[in-house]
Structure formats: C-alpha cells, structure tokens
Amino acid sequence: MSHFSYQDGVLHAEGVSLADIARRFGTPTYVYSKAALSANFLSYADACRRHGRNDEAALVCYSVKSNSNIAVLDVLARLGSGFDIVSGGELLRVLAAGGSPRKVIFSGVGKSRDEMRLALSHDILCFNVESIPELHRLNEVAAELGKRAPVSLRVNPNVDAKTHPYISTGLKDNKFGVAYEDALATYRVAAALPHIEVTGIDCHIGSQLLDDAPLLEAVDKLIELIDTLAAEGITVHHLDIGGGIGIDYNGDKPVAVGDYLSRLFAKIDAWRAARHNGAPIKVLFEPGRSIVGNAGVLLTEVQFIKHGETKNFAIVDAAMNDLMRPAMYEAWHGVQTVKQAGEQPAQVYDVVGPVCESGDWLARARELSIAQDDLLAILSAGAYGMTMASNYNTRGRAAEVMVDGKDVHLIRKRELPAELFAEESLLP
C-alpha cells in the first residue's frame, strides 16, 4: 500500500494525514487514495496496450460490487474503464458516474425482468447468462422491446481456484455458470432464439487468487469450447476471462498483473495463429479487488482498552457492520496505528467493535502500542468493505473520503440514526 505511508511519524494517505481526516470527518471513515486506484487500473490497461491491444481489442471491466461509490466509478470511467455489474442498481450507479453503458457487462445468476429491461433500454455491451431459463426470459424481454440481446454464456470450467470456499465460483457445486459439459447444448439453444445474439464466452472461477495457473487452465478449456462452437457455425467475438487476481493482505504474494497478462496473451495469440489464421478475438477482464482493495483503509478510533483474563481487547468504533470480511471469511486485515510511535508498551490485542455479537472482530492477536482515543487504520479495506456494510444495531454506515494529492473530498456522508428509520411507519 505504497500510497499510505508514515510522514513525520503520522500515517498519511498520499499527502494528507489520517489524523487530520479523523478530526475533520470523524470515525469510522473509509479513506481511499485516487492515485492508488488509478495506478491499479492502469496496471491492466497499460499491460493490454503493451501487448498490442487497443480499446477495441481489450476491455477492463471493473467489478462494481467490490466498491460501488460513484466517485470511485467516476475515477475509473475517466480512465476508460468498462464495468461488470450484478444488478440494475449497479447499472444506475455506473450511469450516474458517467460510465458508458456500451462498456457494461451484466453478470449474476438471478436477473429480474425489470433489470433486463433496464439494461436493454441502455444498450449495454453484453449479458453474461448463467442458465437456459435465463436465456428464455431474456429472449422474451428483448422481444417485448423489439431488440436482440447480446449474450455470452458464463461457463463453469470446474477449475479449483484454491481460494476460500465462499469466494470460489468455478467448481461443479457452485451456483454460478453453465456446466462445461452442458455449454455446447446451451449455446445451441441461445443461437436458435430469435431475440438473442451470441457475442462471447465468459468464466469467473473465484477471487483472491495468488497464482494465475488456475486462470490459465480455465482459459484452455474456454479455447477448446470456442473451437467446438466454431465448427458448428457459432461465432464468439469476445473472450471474458473474469477477474480474481488477489492482493497482499498478510504478506501474500499475488502474481503481478503484467506477468499474468503476458502469459495470457501469449496463449491466446498462439491459439489464434494456429487455428484461426491469426484472426483477433476481443479479451475482457472483470477485476475488482486488485484495483480497489489496497487503495483504501478503514479509519477507526479506540474507545476502550479492556484487559481480560486470557485476552486484551482494543474496543474500537468500527465494527462488523462496517467491515464484514473478518466475521464472514475470518479474513486478515493489517492494522497500523496512525501515530507511528506509541507511548504505551506494546501488548497483544484483539481489535473488536461495539456490536453485540461475538463475531464482531476486525483483527485478532495483534501486537500494538495503543491507548484509549488512539486512531487505527484497518488496511486493505477498499474492496468489499463499504459495499458489504449494513445498519445492524441501527448503526449508520461510515463516511467515505477520497484523497487526491493534498486534497480531501467527502464522497459519502456518514449516515445518521434518524435517517435509518425515516422510511418506517408507526401503526395507526
């Protein structure tokens, strides 16, 4: 997280002190670095260009579910990003942020008729379809609107991503995608429907992958299927690899994006040269965590220090409703003090929140030099932090700010308790 560093003994986001942000905006607050966000996106886009892929030959579609704040989407849209969405609401966010619907792909297993109508009315790039019933529904909705819906099938290649079971999506027992063995028959159905236009093929095998070997194995299976489809006269114009590249949470060493794309494009180029006379195929990506994960931290304040019989607790004002990943996945997030040199002797603490659940913890067994009222930064919190936040215990969701050099922008104000029940009604 190179854009978060100590300057004069105080942790900064780019050129701004996190202590100053806490004084100005309170805690808990999500703090994002625009420079980190931009650099992470460009690691994909620039690698594509180095391998001769212009915007017509490759498209990086940021996974909106990882962080959907419209300021984040705006930064990426200005850099030329496409967007991978999983709901009609996410499409509306992309449009509000200035994103082009012609760069939007719509994933997800349970698209409603209204969501299909919305997406078709904006002429999105493609629907990633995950079942035959979805194909029939989309065909019916497109017929009502007098349109043909562009589709790719999300094929489940049954490749083990070797990641947490909750974020593994490419195995036979996952709910996602069309089974590899059923893909050909499903494409035949799609090609026969009058209001469906087959445009691509898609897969996504999981998240937080440190090694690209499973991704490249999945690509081999998709290539084999594309050749089978071509023999039947079904032409695929784009190959969507999905996302999944991980980030460093705890000394993890994820594959470098540039190295992964070099191996990927070499594989694709060799295949096209050998079997398709060098004819190009557009390549799509759906990264999320690797773009925004290490671009953000969760800033929180120690409320109390509690020394128990077997454990010490640092009780902070952020909680599982703000950052769900530790409670849901037992995920590791680094913790740093905002002031580098603490005055207290270092002790081992569990960092926990005020929510009335034993699962309300953010970090376990961390050696920290802290006192009441000190500030902590929960690291690598840019992805699946705010988007998974809730109002459990009638807690307003945190504020969000974006740092741009020495400037700070409030991009989402803190929710107030009264706002949480403003839409509720008493009985007469």
pLDDT over threshold 60, residue 394: yes
Evaluate whether 281 touches 241 at the Cβ level (below 8 Å): no
Which value, in Å, is the radius of gyration of the alpha carbons in the chain? 23
pLDDT band with cut points at 50, 70 and 90 for residue 235: very high
Is 356 in the active site? Answer: yes
311, amino acid identity: K
**Mean pLDDT, residues 400-410 taken together:** 98
Binding-site positions for pyridoxal 5'-phosphate read: 244, 286-289, 384
pLDDT at 170: 42
* Whole-number Å distance between alpha carbons of 375 and 264: 43
pLDDT at 157: 87
pLDDT at 168: 46
Q: Can you read off the two tokens belonging to residue 380?
A: 């690598």
**Mean pLDDT, residues 126-136 taken together:** 97
**CA distances to 96, 234, 361 from 297, in Å:** 25, 46, 16
From 131-140, 238-247, 336-345, the region with the lowest mean pLDDT: 336-345
pLDDT mean across residues, the chain:
94
Alpha-carbon dihedral angle through residues 360, 65, 45, 72, given to the nearest 10 degrees? -80
Q: Can you read off the two tokens belonging to residue 291?
A: 């773009």
pLDDT at 47: 96
pLDDT at 175: 66
* Whole-number Å distance between alpha carbons of 84 and 64: 6
Q: Can you read off the two tokens belonging to residue 258?
A: 């540039």
DSSP type of residue 423: T
Phi-psi region of 343 (alpha: psi -120 to 50; beta: other; left: phi over 0): alpha
Q: What residues have CB less than 8 Å from 227, skipping those under 6 apart?
A: 275
187-217 tens-digit pLDDT = 999 999 999 999 999 999 888 999 999 999 9
Q: What residues have CB less than 8 Å from 138, skipping those under 6 apart?
A: 111, 116, 127, 129, 149, 151, 195, 196
**Mean pLDDT, residues 38-57 taken together:** 95
Of the options 3.10.129.10, 3.20.20.10, 3.20.20.70, 3.30.230.70, the CATH number for the domain spanning 34-289: 3.20.20.10
The candidate with the shortest Cα–Cα distance to 384, out of 258, 257, 247, is 247
* Whole-number Å distance between alpha carbons of 170 and 118: 28
pLDDT at 337: 97
Evaluate whether 127 touches 136 at the Cβ level (below 8 Å): no
User: Which residue blocks in 67-111 are alpha helix, DSSP H?
Assistant: 70-78, 88-96
Binding-site positions for substrate read: 289, 325, 329, 357, 384
pLDDT over threshold 70, residue 365: yes
pLDDT at 343: 79
Helix (H) / strand (E) containing 185 = helix 183-192
Full DSSP string of 296-317: EEEEEEEEEEEE-SS-EEEEES
Beta strands in 82-134 (DSSP E): 82-85, 104-106, 126-129
4-32+293-420 classified as CATH 2.40.37.10? yes
Evaluate whether 341 touches 268 at the Cβ level (below 8 Å): no
83-105 tens-digit pLDDT = 999 999 999 999 999 999 999 99
**Mean pLDDT, residues 40-68 taken together:** 96
Tokens 């996974």 found at? 63
Q: What percent of the chain has pLDDT over 70?
A: 96
pLDDT at 161: 59
Burial of 412 (0-12, 13-18, 19+ CB in 10 A): middle
Binding-site positions read: 244, 286-289, 325, 329, 357, 384
Choosing from 48, 61, 126, 356, the catalytic residue is: 356
Q: Can you read off the two tokens belonging to residue 227?
A: 């050749």
Q: What residue spans define the domains of the chain? A: 4-32+293-420, 34-289
pLDDT over threshold 50, residue 171: no
**Mean pLDDT, residues 226-243 taken together:** 95
- The full length of the chain comes to 428
Q: What percent of the chain has pLDDT over 90?
A: 91
* Whole-number Å distance between alpha carbons of 350 and 367: 9
pLDDT band with cut points at 50, 70 and 90 for residue 172: low
Vertex 305 angle, CA 379 and 317, to 5°:
50
* Whole-number Å distance between alpha carbons of 423 and 37: 35
**Mean pLDDT, residues 281-300 taken together:** 97
DSSP type of residue 245: B
Residue predicted with more confidence, 342 or 335: 335
Q: Quick one: angle between helices 132-145 and 183-192, nearest 10?
A: 20
How many contiguous H segments (helices) and E segments (strands) does the chain have? 12, 21
* Whole-number Å distance between alpha carbons of 311 and 247: 30
Residue predicted with more confidence, 164 or 313: 313
